[in-house]
A and B are shown apart, each in its own frame.
Chain A
């Protein structure tokens, strides 16, 4: 043993294996008696052989300052360099004050044109802005549901909204499932919170509101807001809020509850939960009240101050939305809504988790099967197309043949007609020839007669006159005969 003398006689170093220092104890199975143990020991038997299998981790107390309490700061500085993104969806009727509220919340003027009331269907309009405050960069995306509640038939109002939210989840899922992905660089467009603007009728929720919120509550964190709260009096407001919450509960709509599990924010959040839905007033104009310029709305009967807690719940909304729960909203979106979407989507595509006994990588087989299916589908389609092509070629060939035959027939027909004509013409020509011959013969006969008549008249001049008369008559008759 190479231990120094001093070490040999001092209390055993808790770090070393005492069975080596005092070999007489090496046969001992149970641990050393506890009475002289250093308080730095963990309560578990340290001389038991350390195994690879992991029991629950034991806690250890530190002998000094190690320095990892700077971990949260390291994490925060990393996040700051990366930047944050936050996406808000505003759903509410046109003209209810969505854009004004956004301007008021973020203390700036987001340039958006006023929406018209004549939209054919609900359309979502996302706008992204870069905000910076001290060293925190925020990529804020505000999505406006333009045209909500303006149509005559509002059956399908919720559908574009739901489709948009799903599309954002889909984009993220696609990025996550890529082989080469860069998630830390990805601009997250998933909607983190949906501010639902309720019209301040003072009575109850509209059925459109209920239907839309029911469709959205499993996809996004909903915070209902009573807009234009300066049109309701305080007592009416109180009743209105109770009515709304009652209706939401009885219809099973799950709105976002501010988290109460963390002591730091539990009380604040619990109080705020009781104030839902927030009755807000938005304004970007400033009015002089007392000797300060505050954001307010000026009426002939008074001034409604936006940041006055007695007047409206704007301050509460800003606290909850931005200063206290922004991170929680993002986390809920990622860990609850997105996971739900992902699970549904993957199950829909036919994937399943392995269940206990089967191979741990059955996902791969499902993928393989899907791939084969897809390939065979592709092949089948190819075959189909080829068949179709061949068929088409045959058809065209037949058609062409038909046409050819027709043409032939026509040609034959024409030839026959031509022959006919030719024959007729031949006949006529023969007839003509015959007649000409007949005429010539007659002519010859007449001329012979004439010469005879002439001979006879030279002896009988009297008869000459008669013959002369006869001759031209005879001539005429002959001529007429020929014609």
Chain B
């Protein structure tokens, strides 16, 4: 190995202390073997990923999940076949363990049937926010224990895929409300569902309008601009940001096209290939979610969203004592509210807090 002078990379988010001395090594020591050790350890422990799909019924959420992970995660419901639409929003989670090339992934998919299906959709986001907070709460409880587990099971929602119906016009008020509330609690990736009903030009126009809407309402979807660490990330993420929201088509049936077996939707006027970039942007979504940014999603959930929740929670219930020896940046409030336990039902005051207080964000 060549002797290398120490040069702090511009991406390093750690400031070196004033007394750190850079040192030259005159030969190969073997420090980089720690990367292999990390890999081995990670593969032994396995990975976890929790994804939530939100959207009105009939937009192809379950099909999309099946297409993403190339297996039958959820049973896709066919609308209008006697399945009663749920009266209230129920969240359903399915967990599977999938393995590929020795890498084990515990995947949890949370579906939200009944979202936006009622006549009055007011506060239909509350159960979803409640569910997300409940997962954070579980993790926080585990973390606060005196005797903790070695590896706290991670059920926090890492990514929420929001399906925008392909109206072709712009975001509806329901979408805007929901996205505003959700983008502060979880990483949101909006997609245009059933994009095969839009032509390419309509898609582009729709996409632009959605981007405008998002900017106007201050909705920061994943990948958030403020978390770009270095110049490479910025370039990569801005390319992605240009194409958000992706126009996707989901399909889990295979058809023969030109001798190849592809996933697609067969219609009278042709077969829409899911993996064909010319037809839809599914490969982009899959690459973003799985192949390149999965770890990043988890990291942002853990370092940003979970920490925000924790700050809020600890401030609210005054868990930490105040006094010498404890560093507390939050001022002591006048009254002590009632102790709060984990609740499955939504809590409207908290939603308002998220909605109006922007200053605690790390952006």
Q: Do A and B come from one complex?
A: yes
Interface string of B251-276 (1 = CB under 8 A from A): 01100000000000000000000000
| Residues of B with C-beta under 8 A to A343 | 146-147
Q: Does A331 contact B (CB under 8 A)?
A: yes
Query: Which residues 296-336 in B have Cβ within 8 Å of A in the complex?
Result: 296, 299, 303, 307, 310-311, 314-315, 317-323, 326-330, 336
Residues of B within 8 A of A60 (CB): 69, 71-73, 96-98
- Is the beta-carbon distance between B101 and A136 smaller than 8 angstroms? no
- The yes or no answer to A411 lying at the interface (CB within 8 A) is no
Flag B24-42 by CB within 8 Å of A: 1 or 0 each: 1111111111110111111
| Residue ID in chain B nearest A265 by CB atoms | B40
How far in angstroms is the closest Cβ of chain A from B222?
15
Decide: A17 and B77 in contact? CB cutoff 8 A: yes
CB <8 Å contact, B95 and A57:
yes
**CA gap between A135 and B103 in the complex, in Å:** 24
Q: Which of B72, B92, B330 contacts A51 (CB 8 A)?
A: B92
Contacts between chains A and B (CB distance < 8 A), count: 313
How far apart are the CA atoms of A133 and B4 in the complex, in Å? 7
Least CB distance from B279 to A in Å reads 18
Chain A contacts with B in 318-374, Cβ cutoff 8 A: 318-319, 322-328, 331, 335, 339, 342-343, 346-347, 351-353, 359-361, 363-365, 367-368, 370-371, 374
> CB < 8 Å: which of B4, B103, B296, B303 contacts A69?
B103
Question: A367–B321 contact, CB under 8 A?
Answer: yes
Asked if A15 CB lies within 8 Å of chain B CBs, one says: yes
Interface residues on B, range: 35 or more
Q: Which residues of A are found within 8 Å of B44, using beta-carbon distances?
A: 262
The answer to whether A66 and B21 touch across the interface, beta carbons within 8 angstroms, is no
Q: Which of B23, B94, B252 contacts A129 (CB 8 A)?
A: B23
A55→B291 CA distance, assembly (Å): 28
Residues in A with CB closer than 8 Å to B94 are: 50
Decide: A347 and B146 in contact? CB cutoff 8 A: yes
Q: Is the CB of B100 within 8 A of A72?
A: no
- CA–CA, A59 and B105, complex, Å: 10
Does B121 make an interface contact (CB < 8 A)?
no
Contact A134-B1, Cβ < 8 Å, known A59-B97, A106-B25, A139-B16: yes
Give the distance to chain A from B308, nearest Cβ to Cβ, in Å: 10
Q: Which of A180-188, A208-216, A234-242, A435-443 contacts B (4 or more CB under 8 A)?
A: A180-188
Bound CA–CA A352/B296 (angstroms): 35
The reply to whether A107 and B33 form a contact with Cβ atoms under 8 Å apart is: no
B residues in contact with A28, CB < 8 Å: none
Chain B binding surface SS class: loop
Query: Do residues A74 and B81 form an inter-chain contact, with CB atoms below 8 A?
Result: no
Is residue B87 contacting chain A, with contact meaning CB distance below 8 A?
A: no
- Judged by a CB distance under 8 angstroms, whether B6 is at the interface is yes
Cross-chain contact B20 with A129 (CB below 8 angstroms): yes
B359 at the A/B interface (Cβ < 8 Å)?
no
Docked pose: A197 CA to B4 CA in angstroms = 31
Chain B CB within 8 A of A75 CB: yes
Contact, CB under 8 Å: B286 / A131: no
* Residue pair B6, A66 in contact (C-beta under 8 Å): no
Q: In the complex the two chains form, is A66's CB within 8 Å of B148's CB?
A: no
- By the criterion CB–CB under 8 Å, are B32 and A75 in contact? no
Contact of A79 among B14, B35, B47, B339 (CB under 8 A): B35
Q: Are B23's CB and A71's CB within 8 A?
A: no
Please state if B29 and A322 are interface contacts (CB–CB under 8 Å).
yes
Is A462 among interface residues, defined by CB-CB distance under 8 A?
no
- Interface members, chain B 56-87 (any A CB < 8 Å): 63, 66, 68-78, 80-83
- Please, which residues of chain A bring their CB within 8 A of the CB of B230? 81
Most buried by A among B9, B72, B229, B336: B72
Query: In the complex, what residues of A have CB within 8 A of residue B290's CB?
Result: 66-68
Stretch at the interface among A39-47, A150-158, A379-387, A395-403: A39-47
B339 near A66 with CB under 8 A, answer: no
Specify which chain A residues have a CB less than 8 angstroms from the CB of B102 in the assembled complex: 69
Q: Check if A64 is an interface residue, CB within 8 A of chain B.
A: yes
Tell me whether B239 is interfacial, beta carbon within 8 Å: no
Task: Output the least CB separation between B65 and chain A (Å).
Answer: 11
Complex Cα distance, B38 from A328, in Å, reads 9
Q: Are B37 and A327 in contact (CB under 8 A)?
A: yes
Kindly list chain B residues whose C-beta atoms are within 8 Å of the C-beta of A187: 14, 17
Chain A residues lying within 8 Å of B101, measured Cβ to Cβ, are 69
Kindly list 5 other residue pairs between chains A and B, CB separation below 8 angstroms, not including A68-B49, A178-B328. A72-B39, A131-B6, A319-B30, A327-B34, A342-B146
Q: Which 9 residue pairs are nearest across A and B when measured between Cβ atoms?
A: A327-B37, A74-B295, A57-B95, A69-B101, A323-B30, A323-B33, A67-B291, A63-B70, A60-B96
9 inter-chain pairs at a CB distance below 8 angstroms, sorted by A residue, are A1-B81, A76-B39, A78-B295, A107-B25, A110-B23, A130-B22, A134-B4, A179-B329, A322-B31
